[in-house]
Amino acid sequence: MDPSGMLGVSEIIRHKWVLVILAHLDERSRRYMELLRKVQEANMELTEGVFNKNIKQMAAAGLIKREAVSRHHVYALTPLGQHIVDQVAPLTGLSDGNLGPDGNEIADTTLATEHDVTGDKLQADDDHGGGHQASGESPP
């Protein structure tokens, strides 16, 4: 993985609404006001001005395009936008179903914080201020 390439991607998707907009355009092309309403359904704090700024930046970055259809325009994903959606889509399951490191659903969401990224159970380290360490590791 190229770290400099990751910086470019993070600049594109770091804005709060970009992934939400991409997700709605992944469903189908949408007119401006329809897309705005769909995104606002997720969170009403999005103003039309912020939305407009985001779609202009996304178009400039090559994530979406504005196409003329009949007597109006719609916004649609570009191949780059579709590629980002395809790469990010597996991550949405992490928040949707409280999935553990093994991909299985965790019934109690408190357990999700008791595993490190490798799936090892974390244990309290009472000798070092109550922090956590992965099982199998010796304390520092």
pLDDT (average), residues 33-45: 89
Q: How confident is the model at residue 59 (pLDDT cuts 50, 70, 90)?
A: very high
pLDDT of residue 27: 93
Cα atoms in the Cβ-side hemisphere of radius 13 Å centred on 54: 21
Full domain range(s) for residue 72: 3-96
Phi, psi torsion values for 44, nearest 5 degrees:
-70, -5
Please indicate, yes or no, whether residues 92 and 108 belong to a single structural domain of this protein. no
- Could you report the per-residue pLDDT of 66-123, keeping only the tens digit for each? 999 888 999 999 999 999 999 888 887 655 555 455 555 555 444 444 444 445 555 5
Number of domains forming the structure of the chain: 2
Please indicate, yes or no, whether residues 67 and 107 belong to a single structural domain of this protein. no
Residue 50 DSSP code: H
Please indicate, yes or no, whether residues 25 and 86 belong to a single structural domain of this protein. yes
**Two tokens at 67?**
């196409």
Write the CATH number for 67.
1.10.10.10
Q: How confident is the model at residue 15 (pLDDT cuts 50, 70, 90)?
A: confident
pTM: 0.62
